């Protein structure tokens, strides 16, 4: 299948040389591992940060970026041959990535607005001196 | 190679979800709990794609992942609206009571 496309001759030679691992898949591995590092930052921030708004800061950014990176990585990993079915799969996974890219900041914004209208005040500098407040 | 990568990736993702469960358990406000549930739901959509890679049926599991991401977004919006409205109404009643007591 790959040899018949002609344009991707270099890729086909790399498949034969590397024992079934396409360079696309190496890029996919790297993207997925980078996304996992971002998710590690999100989970550490969700535990360690003292305030709701700072936790929102950790979760809103790290979650959406790590989801997009891991899904893009697995979209490249599942791209084994360049047939029509695998292109359809690639487009579907990229559709999930686009959906997350739109909706994850939107839901974060809605939750933050609901918390702000509920008189949930951000932590101030004088609250940091009280250890019982930080412990929560 | 790809199978082992998917197994390690999925189990690491699952282990990193445990701090979110801690945040659901102790979270001081309902918004913290809802935020952690939102993060877990988004990561479950990713985990479904990884499971599909493991079973060589990604074309089937991707549809589940799309449905899960959509449901997660709708639930986050609905719960945030619900919490906002009910607590605002209760607050409004308390303020009216306080105003009536002052007059």
Q: Is A14 exposed, middle or buried (0-12, 13-18, 19+ CB in 10 A)?
A: middle
pLDDT per residue as tens digits for the range B59-80: 889 999 999 999 999 998 998 8
Interface test with A, best of B15, B22, B35 (most A CBs within 10 A): B35
Answer yes or no: is pLDDT of A110 > 70: yes
**Closest residue of chain B to A136, computed from CA coordinates:** B28
- Quick one: average pLDDT of A61-66? 92
Q: What is the pLDDT of residue A21?
A: 60
- Quick one: average pLDDT of B18-22? 92
Helix and strand tally (H, E) in chain A?
Answer: 5, 0
Question: In chain A, what are the domain boundaries?
Answer: 22-135
C-alpha B46/C-alpha B7 separation (Å) is 13
Q: What is the pLDDT of residue B37?
A: 92
In this predicted complex, what is the ipTM? 0.80
**Closest residue of chain B to A77, computed from CA coordinates:** B2
Give the predicted TM-score (pTM) of the model: 0.79
A77: chain B residues, CB-CB within 8 Å: 2, 5, 53
Nearest to B90 by CA among A75, A119, A37, A62: A119
Position A11 confidence tier, pLDDT thresholds 50, 70, 90: low
């Amino acid at each position: 299948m790959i040899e018949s496309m002609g344009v991707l001759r270099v890729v086909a030679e790399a498949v034969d040389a590397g024992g079934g691992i396409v360079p696309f898949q190496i890029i996919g591995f790297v993207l997925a591992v980078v996304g996992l590092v971002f998710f590690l930052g999100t989970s550490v921030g969700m535990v360690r940060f003292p305030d709701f708004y700072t936790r929102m800061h950790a979760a809103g950014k790290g979650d959406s970026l790590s989801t997009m990176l891991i899904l893009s990585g697995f979209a490249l990993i599942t791209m084994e041959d360049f047939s029509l079915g695998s292109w359809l799969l690639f487009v579907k996974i990229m559709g999930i990535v686009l959906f997350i890219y739109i909706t994850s900041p939107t839901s974060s914004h809605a939750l933050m607005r609901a918390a702000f209208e509920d008189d949930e005040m951000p932590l101030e500098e004088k609250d940091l001196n009280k250890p019982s407040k930080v412990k929560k | 190679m790809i199978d082992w990568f998917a197994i390690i990736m999925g189990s690491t993702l699952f282990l990193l979800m445990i701090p979110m469960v801690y945040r659901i358990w102790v979270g001081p406000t309902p918004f913290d709990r809802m935020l952690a549930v939102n993060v877990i739901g988004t990561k479950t959509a990713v985990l479904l794609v990884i499971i599909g890679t493991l079973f060589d049926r990604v074309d089937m599991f991707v549809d589940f992942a799309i449905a899960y991401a959509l449901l997660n977004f709708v639930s986050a919006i609905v719960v945030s609206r619900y919490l906002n409205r009910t607590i605002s109404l209760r607050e409004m009643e308390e303020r009216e009571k306080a105003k009536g007591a002052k007059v």
